[in-house]
Structure 1
Protein backbone atom coordinates (compact mmCIF):
# COMPACT_ATOMS: atom_id res chain seq x y z
CA UNK A 1 0.00 0.00 0.00
CA UNK A 2 1.29 3.43 -0.97
CA UNK A 3 1.62 5.95 1.87
CA UNK A 4 -0.59 8.99 1.00
CA UNK A 5 1.92 11.32 2.69
CA UNK A 6 4.80 10.07 0.53
CA UNK A 7 6.22 12.57 -1.93
CA UNK A 8 6.96 11.71 -5.56
CA UNK A 9 10.73 11.68 -4.84
CA UNK A 10 10.25 9.32 -1.88
CA UNK A 11 8.03 7.09 -4.01
CA UNK A 12 10.70 6.87 -6.73
CA UNK A 13 13.41 6.05 -4.16
CA UNK A 14 11.19 3.37 -2.67
CA UNK A 15 10.52 1.91 -6.10
CA UNK A 16 14.22 1.88 -6.96
CA UNK A 17 15.06 0.15 -3.66
CA UNK A 18 12.34 -2.42 -4.31
CA UNK A 19 13.70 -3.15 -7.78
CA UNK A 20 17.26 -3.46 -6.43
CA UNK A 21 16.07 -5.83 -3.71
CA UNK A 22 14.18 -7.96 -6.23
CA UNK A 23 17.20 -7.94 -8.55
CA UNK A 24 19.54 -9.13 -5.78
CA UNK A 25 17.03 -11.82 -4.75
CA UNK A 26 16.64 -13.06 -8.33
CA UNK A 27 20.43 -13.05 -8.81
CA UNK A 28 21.05 -15.25 -5.77
CA UNK A 29 18.08 -17.45 -6.70
CA UNK A 30 19.64 -18.05 -10.12
CA UNK A 31 22.98 -18.92 -8.50
CA UNK A 32 21.21 -21.37 -6.18
CA UNK A 33 19.33 -22.85 -9.12
CA UNK A 34 22.56 -23.43 -11.04
CA UNK A 35 24.24 -25.02 -8.01
CA UNK A 36 21.33 -27.39 -7.39
CA UNK A 37 20.74 -28.34 -11.03
CA UNK A 38 24.40 -28.97 -11.90
CA UNK A 39 24.59 -32.39 -10.13
CA UNK A 40 21.36 -33.52 -11.82
CA UNK A 41 22.64 -32.35 -15.21
CA UNK A 42 25.93 -34.20 -14.63
CA UNK A 43 24.07 -37.36 -13.56
CA UNK A 44 21.61 -37.41 -16.45
CA UNK A 45 23.92 -36.63 -19.38
CA UNK A 46 26.61 -39.04 -18.18
CA UNK A 47 24.10 -41.85 -17.78
CA UNK A 48 23.80 -41.87 -21.60
CA UNK A 49 27.51 -42.55 -22.22
CA UNK A 50 29.50 -45.71 -22.71
CA UNK A 51 31.81 -46.82 -19.92
CA UNK A 52 34.93 -44.90 -20.98
CA UNK A 53 33.32 -41.99 -22.85
CA UNK A 54 33.52 -39.79 -19.76
CA UNK A 55 37.33 -39.87 -19.99
CA UNK A 56 37.35 -39.13 -23.71
CA UNK A 57 34.55 -36.56 -24.10
CA UNK A 58 34.47 -34.72 -20.76
CA UNK A 59 31.79 -35.00 -18.12
CA UNK A 60 29.80 -31.86 -19.03
CA UNK A 61 29.73 -32.34 -22.81
CA UNK A 62 26.65 -33.83 -24.41
CA UNK A 63 27.06 -37.54 -25.23
CA UNK A 64 28.13 -38.32 -28.77
CA UNK A 65 26.45 -40.64 -29.56
CA UNK A 66 23.65 -41.04 -27.01
CA UNK A 67 23.93 -44.53 -25.48
CA UNK A 68 20.56 -45.87 -24.26
CA UNK A 69 21.72 -49.41 -23.49
CA UNK A 70 22.58 -48.41 -19.90
CA UNK A 71 18.90 -48.01 -19.08
CA UNK A 72 18.04 -51.21 -20.96
CA UNK A 73 20.61 -53.12 -18.90
CA UNK A 74 19.38 -51.60 -15.63
CA UNK A 75 15.74 -52.47 -16.32
CA UNK A 76 16.56 -55.96 -17.58
CA UNK A 77 18.62 -56.79 -14.47
CA UNK A 78 15.82 -56.54 -11.91
CA UNK A 79 15.55 -52.80 -11.28
CA UNK A 80 11.77 -52.92 -10.95
CA UNK A 81 12.09 -55.61 -8.27
CA UNK A 82 14.19 -53.26 -6.14
CA UNK A 83 11.77 -50.46 -6.94
CA UNK A 84 8.68 -52.46 -5.92
CA UNK A 85 10.23 -53.60 -2.64
CA UNK A 86 11.11 -50.00 -1.77
CA UNK A 87 7.56 -48.89 -2.57
CA UNK A 88 6.12 -51.61 -0.30
CA UNK A 89 8.43 -50.77 2.62
CA UNK A 90 7.95 -47.00 2.33
CA UNK A 91 4.15 -47.24 1.89
CA UNK A 92 3.61 -49.49 4.92
CA UNK A 93 6.04 -47.48 7.05
CA UNK A 94 4.37 -44.18 6.16
CA UNK A 95 0.86 -45.47 6.91
CA UNK A 96 1.94 -46.80 10.31
CA UNK A 97 3.98 -43.70 11.11
CA UNK A 98 1.18 -41.27 10.23
CA UNK A 99 -1.43 -43.27 12.15
CA UNK A 100 0.68 -43.57 15.32
CA UNK A 101 1.79 -39.93 15.08
CA UNK A 102 -1.81 -38.72 14.82
CA UNK A 103 -2.98 -40.91 17.71
CA UNK A 104 -0.08 -39.70 19.89
CA UNK A 105 -0.24 -36.01 18.93
CA UNK A 106 -3.98 -35.60 19.58
CA UNK A 107 -3.93 -36.15 23.38
CA UNK A 108 -0.67 -34.21 23.71
CA UNK A 109 -2.14 -31.24 21.85
CA UNK A 110 -5.79 -31.26 22.94
CA UNK A 111 -5.91 -32.88 26.40
CA UNK A 112 -4.61 -31.80 29.80
CA UNK A 113 -3.24 -34.48 32.13
CA UNK A 114 -0.38 -34.71 34.62
CA UNK A 115 2.03 -36.69 32.47
CA UNK A 116 1.50 -34.56 29.35
CA UNK A 117 4.63 -32.34 29.77
CA UNK A 118 6.80 -35.33 30.74
CA UNK A 119 5.69 -37.48 27.77
CA UNK A 120 6.10 -34.56 25.38
CA UNK A 121 9.60 -33.80 26.73
CA UNK A 122 10.52 -37.49 26.44
CA UNK A 123 9.41 -37.57 22.79
CA UNK A 124 11.42 -34.42 22.04
CA UNK A 125 14.46 -35.97 23.76
CA UNK A 126 14.19 -39.04 21.52
CA UNK A 127 14.93 -36.79 18.54
CA UNK A 128 18.52 -36.49 19.74
CA UNK A 129 19.24 -40.24 19.59
CA UNK A 130 21.63 -40.92 16.67
CA UNK A 131 20.08 -43.35 14.24
CA UNK A 132 23.22 -45.37 13.53
CA UNK A 133 23.98 -46.00 17.20
CA UNK A 134 21.12 -48.49 17.22
CA UNK A 135 22.32 -50.59 14.26
CA UNK A 136 23.79 -53.41 16.36
CA UNK A 137 20.90 -53.62 18.88
CA UNK A 138 18.35 -53.63 16.06
CA UNK A 139 20.36 -56.27 14.18
CA UNK A 140 20.32 -58.52 17.28
CA UNK A 141 16.62 -57.85 17.89
CA UNK A 142 15.54 -58.66 14.33
CA UNK A 143 17.68 -61.80 14.39
CA UNK A 144 16.16 -63.00 17.67
CA UNK A 145 12.56 -62.47 16.54
CA UNK A 146 13.13 -64.03 13.11
CA UNK A 147 12.71 -60.89 10.99
CA UNK A 148 16.29 -60.68 9.75
CA UNK A 149 16.65 -60.56 5.95
CA UNK A 150 13.00 -59.64 5.41
CA UNK A 151 11.25 -56.42 4.41
CA UNK A 152 9.54 -56.42 7.79
CA UNK A 153 12.88 -55.82 9.48
CA UNK A 154 13.04 -52.33 7.92
CA UNK A 155 9.52 -51.18 8.77
CA UNK A 156 10.07 -51.10 12.54
CA UNK A 157 13.22 -48.92 12.51
CA UNK A 158 11.81 -46.62 9.83
CA UNK A 159 8.64 -45.99 11.83
CA UNK A 160 10.44 -45.70 15.18
CA UNK A 161 12.96 -43.10 14.03
CA UNK A 162 10.36 -41.06 12.17
CA UNK A 163 7.95 -40.89 15.12
CA UNK A 164 9.65 -38.36 17.47
CA UNK A 165 9.96 -35.62 14.86
CA UNK A 166 6.52 -36.43 13.42
CA UNK A 167 4.77 -36.34 16.80
CA UNK A 168 6.58 -33.12 17.68
CA UNK A 169 5.51 -31.39 14.45
CA UNK A 170 1.96 -32.76 14.46
CA UNK A 171 1.42 -31.81 18.11
CA UNK A 172 2.42 -28.22 17.35
CA UNK A 173 0.17 -28.28 14.28
CA UNK A 174 -2.88 -29.58 16.18
CA UNK A 175 -2.42 -26.94 18.88
CA UNK A 176 -3.11 -24.25 16.27
CA UNK A 177 -6.62 -25.64 15.58
CA UNK A 178 -9.14 -23.46 17.49
CA UNK A 179 -10.76 -25.10 20.51
CA UNK A 180 -14.11 -23.78 19.33
CA UNK A 181 -14.05 -26.45 16.61
CA UNK A 182 -14.20 -29.23 19.19
CA UNK A 183 -16.57 -27.34 21.46
CA UNK A 184 -19.11 -26.86 18.66
CA UNK A 185 -18.80 -30.53 17.75
CA UNK A 186 -19.38 -31.57 21.38
CA UNK A 187 -22.53 -29.47 21.46
CA UNK A 188 -23.74 -31.47 18.46
CA UNK A 189 -23.12 -34.69 20.39
CA UNK A 190 -19.63 -35.74 19.28
CA UNK A 191 -17.43 -37.59 21.76
CA UNK A 192 -13.60 -37.57 21.86
CA UNK A 193 -13.23 -40.28 19.21
CA UNK A 194 -15.65 -38.57 16.83
CA UNK A 195 -13.92 -35.24 17.42
CA UNK A 196 -10.61 -36.80 16.45
CA UNK A 197 -11.75 -38.66 13.33
CA UNK A 198 -14.32 -36.16 12.03
CA UNK A 199 -12.85 -32.79 13.04
CA UNK A 200 -9.17 -32.77 14.05
CA UNK A 201 -7.85 -35.38 11.61
CA UNK A 202 -9.40 -33.78 8.47
CA UNK A 203 -8.11 -30.36 9.57
CA UNK A 204 -4.62 -31.86 9.96
CA UNK A 205 -4.34 -33.07 6.36
CA UNK A 206 -1.76 -30.41 5.48
CA UNK A 207 0.46 -31.41 8.40
CA UNK A 208 0.10 -35.11 7.61
CA UNK A 209 0.96 -34.46 3.94
CA UNK A 210 4.10 -32.59 4.96
CA UNK A 211 5.19 -35.43 7.23
CA UNK A 212 4.47 -38.00 4.53
CA UNK A 213 6.65 -36.18 1.97
CA UNK A 214 9.46 -35.38 4.42
CA UNK A 215 9.69 -38.88 5.91
CA UNK A 216 8.96 -40.59 2.59
CA UNK A 217 12.10 -39.12 1.03
CA UNK A 218 14.22 -40.19 4.02
CA UNK A 219 12.84 -43.74 3.97
CA UNK A 220 13.23 -44.00 0.19
CA UNK A 221 16.92 -43.08 0.37
CA UNK A 222 17.78 -44.94 3.60
CA UNK A 223 20.84 -47.16 3.19
CA UNK A 224 22.36 -48.09 6.56
CA UNK A 225 19.53 -50.24 7.94
CA UNK A 226 18.78 -51.76 4.54
CA UNK A 227 22.42 -52.74 4.11
CA UNK A 228 22.60 -54.19 7.63
CA UNK A 229 19.29 -56.06 7.80
CA UNK A 230 19.00 -57.39 4.23
CA UNK A 231 21.42 -59.87 2.67
CA UNK A 232 19.51 -61.80 -0.03
CA UNK A 233 19.62 -59.99 -3.41
CA UNK A 234 15.96 -60.85 -4.04
CA UNK A 235 14.93 -58.94 -0.89
CA UNK A 236 17.08 -55.84 -1.19
CA UNK A 237 15.56 -52.39 -1.69
CA UNK A 238 16.40 -49.66 -4.19
CA UNK A 239 19.28 -47.95 -2.28
CA UNK A 240 21.13 -51.28 -2.42
CA UNK A 241 20.63 -51.67 -6.18
CA UNK A 242 23.94 -49.92 -6.88
CA UNK A 243 25.84 -52.96 -5.62
CA UNK A 244 24.10 -55.13 -8.21
CA UNK A 245 25.43 -53.00 -11.08
CA UNK A 246 28.98 -52.57 -9.76
CA UNK A 247 31.45 -54.63 -11.74
CA UNK A 248 33.79 -57.14 -10.08
CA UNK A 249 37.02 -55.68 -11.48
CA UNK A 250 35.90 -52.30 -12.88
CA UNK A 251 33.34 -49.61 -12.15
CA UNK A 252 30.84 -48.74 -14.90
CA UNK A 253 29.97 -45.23 -13.79
CA UNK A 254 27.37 -44.50 -16.55
CA UNK A 255 25.29 -47.54 -15.52
CA UNK A 256 25.45 -46.47 -11.86
CA UNK A 257 24.31 -42.97 -12.87
CA UNK A 258 21.44 -44.55 -14.82
CA UNK A 259 20.39 -46.40 -11.65
CA UNK A 260 20.58 -43.16 -9.66
CA UNK A 261 18.53 -41.30 -12.27
CA UNK A 262 15.76 -43.89 -12.20
CA UNK A 263 15.89 -43.93 -8.39
CA UNK A 264 15.41 -40.19 -7.88
CA UNK A 265 12.77 -39.69 -10.58
CA UNK A 266 9.84 -40.94 -8.41
CA UNK A 267 10.73 -38.58 -5.53
CA UNK A 268 11.21 -35.62 -7.86
CA UNK A 269 7.89 -36.35 -9.56
CA UNK A 270 6.05 -36.64 -6.23
CA UNK A 271 7.61 -33.42 -4.98
CA UNK A 272 6.56 -31.54 -8.14
CA UNK A 273 3.00 -32.88 -7.88
CA UNK A 274 2.59 -32.31 -4.14
CA UNK A 275 4.80 -29.28 -3.56
CA UNK A 276 1.76 -27.10 -2.81
CA UNK A 277 0.75 -29.54 -0.04
CA UNK A 278 4.26 -29.36 1.41
CA UNK A 279 4.31 -25.56 1.44
CA UNK A 280 0.80 -25.33 2.91
CA UNK A 281 1.69 -27.84 5.60
CA UNK A 282 4.84 -25.95 6.55
CA UNK A 283 3.03 -22.61 6.67
CA UNK A 284 -0.23 -23.77 8.27
CA UNK A 285 1.31 -24.37 11.68
CA UNK A 286 3.04 -20.98 11.69
CA UNK A 287 -0.20 -18.97 12.06
CA UNK A 288 -2.25 -19.32 15.22
CA UNK A 289 -5.87 -20.26 14.51
Structure 2
Protein backbone atom coordinates (compact mmCIF):
# COMPACT_ATOMS: atom_id res chain seq x y z
CA UNK A 1 0.00 0.00 0.00
CA UNK A 2 2.85 2.38 0.85
CA UNK A 3 4.52 1.65 -2.48
CA UNK A 4 1.33 2.58 -4.34
CA UNK A 5 1.13 5.84 -2.43
CA UNK A 6 4.77 6.69 -3.03
CA UNK A 7 4.66 6.22 -6.81
CA UNK A 8 2.71 9.40 -7.59
CA UNK A 9 5.05 11.41 -5.37
CA UNK A 10 8.22 10.06 -6.92
CA UNK A 11 7.14 8.66 -10.28
CA UNK A 12 5.33 11.71 -11.68
CA UNK A 13 8.24 14.15 -11.06
CA UNK A 14 10.61 11.54 -12.50
CA UNK A 15 8.48 11.17 -15.63
CA UNK A 16 8.32 14.97 -15.88
CA UNK A 17 12.11 15.19 -15.76
CA UNK A 18 12.43 12.49 -18.43
CA UNK A 19 9.98 14.34 -20.67
CA UNK A 20 11.88 17.59 -20.04
CA UNK A 21 15.05 15.89 -21.23
CA UNK A 22 13.34 14.47 -24.32
CA UNK A 23 12.08 17.90 -25.35
CA UNK A 24 15.14 19.92 -24.33
CA UNK A 25 18.04 17.80 -25.59
CA UNK A 26 17.21 18.28 -29.32
CA UNK A 27 17.14 22.06 -28.86
CA UNK A 28 20.42 22.03 -26.95
CA UNK A 29 21.97 19.87 -29.68
CA UNK A 30 20.72 22.32 -32.31
CA UNK A 31 22.17 25.34 -30.49
CA UNK A 32 25.54 23.68 -29.80
CA UNK A 33 25.91 22.38 -33.35
CA UNK A 34 25.09 25.81 -34.81
CA UNK A 35 28.38 27.09 -33.36
CA UNK A 36 30.47 24.55 -35.27
CA UNK A 37 32.23 25.33 -38.52
CA UNK A 38 31.39 23.37 -41.66
CA UNK A 39 34.73 21.53 -41.48
CA UNK A 40 34.34 20.69 -37.79
CA UNK A 41 30.86 19.28 -38.42
CA UNK A 42 32.22 16.60 -40.76
CA UNK A 43 35.50 15.87 -38.96
CA UNK A 44 34.31 15.46 -35.37
CA UNK A 45 31.64 13.44 -33.63
CA UNK A 46 28.08 14.63 -34.03
CA UNK A 47 27.71 14.85 -30.26
CA UNK A 48 31.09 16.53 -29.63
CA UNK A 49 30.89 20.17 -28.48
CA UNK A 50 32.54 22.77 -30.74
CA UNK A 51 36.23 23.37 -30.20
CA UNK A 52 35.50 27.11 -30.21
CA UNK A 53 32.38 29.17 -30.74
CA UNK A 54 32.16 29.88 -34.47
CA UNK A 55 29.89 32.89 -35.04
CA UNK A 56 30.32 32.82 -38.82
CA UNK A 57 27.13 30.79 -39.26
CA UNK A 58 24.99 33.46 -37.61
CA UNK A 59 26.81 36.20 -39.50
CA UNK A 60 26.10 34.44 -42.81
CA UNK A 61 22.44 34.03 -41.92
CA UNK A 62 21.95 37.65 -40.84
CA UNK A 63 23.75 39.00 -43.93
CA UNK A 64 21.27 37.21 -46.16
CA UNK A 65 17.52 37.89 -46.57
CA UNK A 66 16.77 36.59 -43.07
CA UNK A 67 15.15 39.84 -41.91
CA UNK A 68 12.96 39.86 -45.01
CA UNK A 69 11.76 36.37 -44.15
CA UNK A 70 11.24 37.48 -40.55
CA UNK A 71 9.22 40.52 -41.60
CA UNK A 72 7.04 38.38 -43.86
CA UNK A 73 6.43 35.87 -41.08
CA UNK A 74 5.49 38.58 -38.59
CA UNK A 75 3.05 40.17 -41.05
CA UNK A 76 1.49 36.92 -42.24
CA UNK A 77 1.16 35.29 -38.82
CA UNK A 78 0.11 38.51 -37.08
CA UNK A 79 -2.68 39.36 -39.54
CA UNK A 80 -3.81 35.72 -39.77
CA UNK A 81 -4.03 35.29 -35.99
CA UNK A 82 -5.93 38.58 -35.63
CA UNK A 83 -8.48 37.51 -38.25
CA UNK A 84 -8.74 34.01 -36.75
CA UNK A 85 -9.43 35.38 -33.26
CA UNK A 86 -12.09 37.86 -34.39
CA UNK A 87 -13.90 35.59 -36.85
CA UNK A 88 -13.84 32.51 -34.64
CA UNK A 89 -15.00 34.51 -31.60
CA UNK A 90 -17.99 35.89 -33.54
CA UNK A 91 -18.90 32.47 -34.89
CA UNK A 92 -18.47 30.85 -31.47
CA UNK A 93 -20.82 33.41 -29.89
CA UNK A 94 -23.49 32.59 -32.47
CA UNK A 95 -23.15 28.83 -31.96
CA UNK A 96 -22.93 29.07 -28.16
CA UNK A 97 -25.68 31.59 -27.43
CA UNK A 98 -28.09 31.97 -30.33
CA UNK A 99 -30.85 29.45 -30.92
CA UNK A 100 -31.97 28.86 -34.49
CA UNK A 101 -33.00 25.86 -36.57
CA UNK A 102 -29.66 25.16 -38.27
CA UNK A 103 -27.42 25.83 -35.27
CA UNK A 104 -26.31 22.25 -34.64
CA UNK A 105 -26.10 21.40 -38.34
CA UNK A 106 -23.90 24.38 -39.18
CA UNK A 107 -21.73 23.80 -36.11
CA UNK A 108 -21.28 20.19 -37.17
CA UNK A 109 -20.26 21.26 -40.68
CA UNK A 110 -17.70 23.67 -39.26
CA UNK A 111 -16.26 21.03 -36.94
CA UNK A 112 -16.15 18.58 -39.86
CA UNK A 113 -13.50 20.85 -41.35
CA UNK A 114 -11.10 19.54 -38.71
CA UNK A 115 -11.01 16.11 -40.38
CA UNK A 116 -10.25 17.38 -43.90
CA UNK A 117 -6.72 16.24 -44.84
CA UNK A 118 -4.40 19.19 -45.34
CA UNK A 119 -2.85 17.76 -48.50
CA UNK A 120 -6.26 17.33 -50.12
CA UNK A 121 -6.58 21.12 -50.26
CA UNK A 122 -3.19 21.90 -51.83
CA UNK A 123 -4.17 21.79 -55.50
CA UNK A 124 -7.51 23.68 -55.14
CA UNK A 125 -5.90 26.38 -53.00
CA UNK A 126 -2.98 26.73 -55.43
CA UNK A 127 -5.30 27.11 -58.42
CA UNK A 128 -7.56 29.55 -56.57
CA UNK A 129 -4.58 31.65 -55.50
CA UNK A 130 -3.28 31.80 -59.07
CA UNK A 131 -6.69 32.72 -60.49
CA UNK A 132 -7.12 35.51 -57.94
CA UNK A 133 -3.71 36.94 -58.81
CA UNK A 134 -2.42 36.50 -55.25
CA UNK A 135 0.38 34.02 -56.01
CA UNK A 136 3.73 35.14 -54.58
CA UNK A 137 2.28 38.19 -52.84
CA UNK A 138 2.12 39.32 -49.23
CA UNK A 139 -1.52 38.18 -49.07
CA UNK A 140 -1.12 34.74 -50.63
CA UNK A 141 -0.99 32.88 -47.31
CA UNK A 142 -3.67 34.78 -45.39
CA UNK A 143 -6.66 32.98 -46.89
CA UNK A 144 -5.42 29.40 -46.40
CA UNK A 145 -4.04 30.12 -42.93
CA UNK A 146 -7.29 31.67 -41.67
CA UNK A 147 -9.64 29.18 -43.34
CA UNK A 148 -7.80 26.08 -42.16
CA UNK A 149 -7.46 27.38 -38.60
CA UNK A 150 -11.09 28.36 -38.07
CA UNK A 151 -12.66 24.94 -37.33
CA UNK A 152 -10.55 24.10 -34.28
CA UNK A 153 -10.59 27.74 -33.10
CA UNK A 154 -14.40 27.93 -33.30
CA UNK A 155 -14.66 24.61 -31.47
CA UNK A 156 -12.45 25.83 -28.60
CA UNK A 157 -14.19 29.18 -28.21
CA UNK A 158 -17.71 27.75 -28.54
CA UNK A 159 -17.12 25.39 -25.64
CA UNK A 160 -15.54 28.27 -23.68
CA UNK A 161 -18.42 30.71 -24.26
CA UNK A 162 -20.99 28.12 -23.24
CA UNK A 163 -19.57 28.29 -19.71
CA UNK A 164 -20.17 32.05 -19.33
CA UNK A 165 -23.17 32.61 -16.99
CA UNK A 166 -26.36 33.34 -18.88
CA UNK A 167 -27.39 35.85 -16.21
CA UNK A 168 -24.87 38.34 -17.61
CA UNK A 169 -26.43 38.11 -21.04
CA UNK A 170 -29.97 38.47 -19.66
CA UNK A 171 -28.97 41.52 -17.61
CA UNK A 172 -27.48 43.17 -20.71
CA UNK A 173 -30.65 42.44 -22.69
CA UNK A 174 -32.75 44.09 -19.99
CA UNK A 175 -30.53 47.18 -20.34
CA UNK A 176 -31.37 47.28 -24.05
CA UNK A 177 -28.14 45.84 -25.45
CA UNK A 178 -28.31 44.01 -28.75
CA UNK A 179 -26.38 40.83 -29.70
CA UNK A 180 -23.47 42.77 -31.19
CA UNK A 181 -23.05 44.95 -28.09
CA UNK A 182 -23.37 41.95 -25.78
CA UNK A 183 -20.68 40.16 -27.73
CA UNK A 184 -18.14 43.00 -27.71
CA UNK A 185 -18.75 44.27 -24.18
CA UNK A 186 -19.35 41.01 -22.31
CA UNK A 187 -18.42 37.81 -24.14
CA UNK A 188 -15.30 39.02 -25.94
CA UNK A 189 -13.60 40.43 -22.79
CA UNK A 190 -14.64 37.46 -20.63
CA UNK A 191 -13.26 35.05 -23.23
CA UNK A 192 -9.74 36.45 -22.81
CA UNK A 193 -8.11 33.17 -21.67
CA UNK A 194 -9.79 31.27 -24.50
CA UNK A 195 -8.79 33.90 -27.05
CA UNK A 196 -5.19 33.78 -25.79
CA UNK A 197 -5.21 30.00 -26.15
CA UNK A 198 -6.47 30.23 -29.73
CA UNK A 199 -3.98 32.99 -30.60
CA UNK A 200 -0.92 31.19 -29.21
CA UNK A 201 -1.98 27.77 -30.50
CA UNK A 202 -2.48 29.06 -34.05
CA UNK A 203 0.46 31.45 -33.90
CA UNK A 204 2.91 28.65 -33.13
CA UNK A 205 1.47 26.42 -35.84
CA UNK A 206 1.46 29.12 -38.52
CA UNK A 207 4.94 30.36 -37.61
CA UNK A 208 6.31 26.91 -38.43
CA UNK A 209 4.05 26.25 -41.44
CA UNK A 210 6.02 25.11 -44.48
CA UNK A 211 3.97 23.46 -47.22
CA UNK A 212 1.67 26.37 -48.12
CA UNK A 213 4.50 28.90 -47.78
CA UNK A 214 6.55 26.81 -50.20
CA UNK A 215 3.69 26.27 -52.63
CA UNK A 216 2.20 29.78 -52.75
CA UNK A 217 5.40 31.87 -52.79
CA UNK A 218 8.43 31.70 -55.03
CA UNK A 219 10.73 34.63 -54.20
CA UNK A 220 12.55 35.67 -51.04
CA UNK A 221 10.59 38.95 -51.03
CA UNK A 222 7.45 37.10 -49.93
CA UNK A 223 8.68 33.88 -48.35
CA UNK A 224 8.50 33.21 -44.63
CA UNK A 225 11.06 31.98 -42.09
CA UNK A 226 10.52 28.20 -42.51
CA UNK A 227 11.83 28.61 -46.07
CA UNK A 228 14.98 30.50 -45.02
CA UNK A 229 16.70 27.17 -44.51
CA UNK A 230 16.64 26.61 -48.28
CA UNK A 231 19.24 29.36 -48.77
CA UNK A 232 21.86 27.03 -47.30
CA UNK A 233 20.92 23.90 -49.24
CA UNK A 234 22.67 23.04 -52.50
CA UNK A 235 22.32 20.32 -55.09
CA UNK A 236 25.34 18.38 -53.85
CA UNK A 237 26.04 19.75 -50.36
CA UNK A 238 24.36 21.61 -47.51
CA UNK A 239 25.74 24.00 -44.94
CA UNK A 240 24.38 22.16 -41.92
CA UNK A 241 25.67 24.51 -39.17
CA UNK A 242 24.15 27.52 -40.95
CA UNK A 243 20.86 25.65 -41.35
CA UNK A 244 20.86 24.97 -37.62
CA UNK A 245 21.60 28.65 -36.97
CA UNK A 246 18.50 29.52 -39.02
CA UNK A 247 16.44 27.10 -36.94
CA UNK A 248 17.75 28.60 -33.68
CA UNK A 249 16.90 32.14 -34.77
CA UNK A 250 13.49 31.00 -36.02
CA UNK A 251 12.71 29.27 -32.73
CA UNK A 252 13.64 32.17 -30.44
CA UNK A 253 10.46 34.26 -31.05
CA UNK A 254 8.29 31.22 -30.31
CA UNK A 255 10.17 30.46 -27.10
CA UNK A 256 9.82 34.06 -25.91
CA UNK A 257 6.12 34.20 -26.86
CA UNK A 258 5.33 30.93 -25.13
CA UNK A 259 7.36 31.85 -22.04
CA UNK A 260 5.14 34.92 -21.55
CA UNK A 261 1.91 33.28 -22.71
CA UNK A 262 2.00 29.77 -21.25
CA UNK A 263 0.04 30.76 -18.15
CA UNK A 264 -2.78 32.17 -20.27
CA UNK A 265 -2.85 29.03 -22.41
CA UNK A 266 -3.14 26.78 -19.37
CA UNK A 267 -5.84 28.97 -17.83
CA UNK A 268 -7.75 29.02 -21.08
CA UNK A 269 -7.65 25.25 -21.46
CA UNK A 270 -8.69 24.70 -17.85
CA UNK A 271 -11.45 27.30 -17.99
CA UNK A 272 -12.89 25.78 -21.14
CA UNK A 273 -13.00 22.33 -19.58
CA UNK A 274 -14.76 23.33 -16.35
CA UNK A 275 -18.33 24.49 -15.93
CA UNK A 276 -18.67 27.82 -14.20
TM over 0.5: yes
User: For residues 163-206 of structure 1, what are the alpha-carbon distances to aligned partners after superposition, in whole Å with 9 as ceiling and x for unaligned?
Assistant: 01111111111001110111122223322221111001100011
Return 5+ residue gaps in structure 2 as ranges: none
* RMSD of aligned residue pairs (Cα, Å): 1.3
Instruction: Find the counterpart in structure 2 of residue 4 from structure 1.
Output: none
**TM-score, with length taken from structure 2:** 0.96
Q: Does 1:272 align with 2:259?
A: yes
The aligned counterpart of 1:104 is: 91
Query: Does 2:210 align with 1:207?
Result: no
Q: Could you state the TM-score of these two structures normalised by the residue count of structure 1?
A: 0.92
- In 1, Cα distance between the equivalents of 2:214 and 2:118? 14
Instruction: Give, in angstroms, the shift of residue 247 of structure 1.
Output: 3.4
5 Å matches for 1:1-289?
18-289=5-276
Q: How many residues align?
A: 276
Give the CA deviation at 1:38: 1.2
Deviates more, 1:167-176 or 1:242-251: 242-251
> Quick check: 1:42–1:59 contact (8 Å CA) kept in 2?
no
**Offset, 1:105:** 0.8
SS at match of 1:233: coil
Gaps of at least 5 residues in structure 1 are 1-12
Moved over 3 A (4+): 16-20
Deviation at 1:288, TM superposition (A): 0.7
Cα deviation code 1:202-251 (max 9, x no counterpart)? 00011010000011111111111111110112211111111112234321
Displacement of 1:148 after TM fit?
0.8
| Cα drift, residue 54 of structure 1 | 2.4
SS at match of 1:61: coil
Preserved contact between residue 65 and residue 220 of structure 2 (Cα < 8 Å) = no
Residue 133 of structure 2 aligns to a residue whose secondary structure is coil
